[in-house]
Structure 1
Amino acid sequence: MDVEGAVGKDPLTQAVIGAAFEVANVLGRGFLEAVYRKALTHELRSRGVPVREEVEFKVDYKGAVVGRYVADMIVADGLIVEIKAVDAIASAHVGQTLNYLRASGLNTGLILNFGSSRLGFKRVTL
């Protein structure tokens, strides 16, 4: 598991963070997560980046489906993006994203927090 505040040279993560900064600059803080998700979806699509919203994944336990979760966004079929509007990204958010990665079969997640005075982000990988 790798958790980073910086994004290194991953162009997809960089593209999403760039779009998220635009959303944060235009909307500011104080909206619900759904507003930021819709705005980020619009911004990414306007930049030619493919996005799917509210993608459902089943949670399997020994061959039985025991639950489901809905990812806020899947970007370019390779990156789970979780939107938050909280004071700060907490370890519980990282744990949640790791579980989402395991359930989805994807390897990289990005937590974006629009709730603080400045856009927060963490890249999480399995």
Structure 2
Amino acid sequence: MTENEISYKIIGIAMELHKNIGAGLLESAYENALAYDLREKGFDVKQQLAMPFIYKEVRQDIGYRIDMVIDNKVLIEVKSVETLAPVHFAQTLTYLKLSGLKLGLLINFNNKYLKDGIHRIVNNL
């Protein structure tokens, strides 16, 4: 499947999850529930993937973690905040660049309608 096909399926699964449990939970609850549902649908899901930071050719393991990578093609950053800030978009794009992935989904589950909390972010490599 292409990145676009995978992202389309992820969005459908996330919307069904949100319909079932609504807004107001912690990010970790949404992340784990989404990972469970994605695995049930046959996706390869990597959670809390360590992201090293390399500065001037020195690797620094300082604890950056990508919430999820699906089928080694699509990055997901899960949020549960009142309003997404510009830094959330910048963080997702930076993770895409550092990982070499092309497509990311920034999903804020703390919305009345999840469609308002889903953002596709593209790394133009």
The equivalent residue for 1:6 is none
Amino acid at match of 2:29: V
In 1, Cα distance between equivalents of 2:87 and 2:59: 23
Q: For residues 1-126 of structure 1, what are the structure 2 equivalents within 5 Å? A: 10-66=4-60, 67-119=62-114, 120-126=117-123
Q: Is the 8 A contact 1:60 1:103 kept in 2?
A: no
- If the length of structure 2 is used for normalisation, what is the TM-score? 0.88
Residue 68 of structure 1 deviates from its aligned partner by 4.0
- The count of corresponding residues between Structure 1 and Structure 2 is 118
Residue 94 of structure 1 deviates from its aligned partner by 0.6
The alignment yields a C-alpha RMSD, in angstroms, of 1.4
In 2, Cα distance between equivalents of 1:107 and 1:62: 24
The worse-fitting range, judged by mean Cα deviation, of 68-77 and 32-41 is 68-77
Residue 88 of structure 1 deviates from its aligned partner by 2.7
In 2, Cα distance between equivalents of 1:106 and 1:82: 13
Q: Percent identity?
A: 34
What are the ranges of 5 or more consecutive residues in structure 1 without an aligned counterpart?
Answer: 1-8
Q: Secondary structure at the match of 1:24?
A: helix
**If each structure's helix is expressed as a fraction of its own residues, which one has the higher value?**
2
- If the length of structure 1 is used for normalisation, what is the TM-score? 0.88
What are the ranges of 5 or more consecutive residues in structure 2 without an aligned counterpart?
Answer: none
In 2, Cα distance between equivalents of 1:20 and 1:102: 24
In 2, Cα distance between equivalents of 1:55 and 1:124: 18
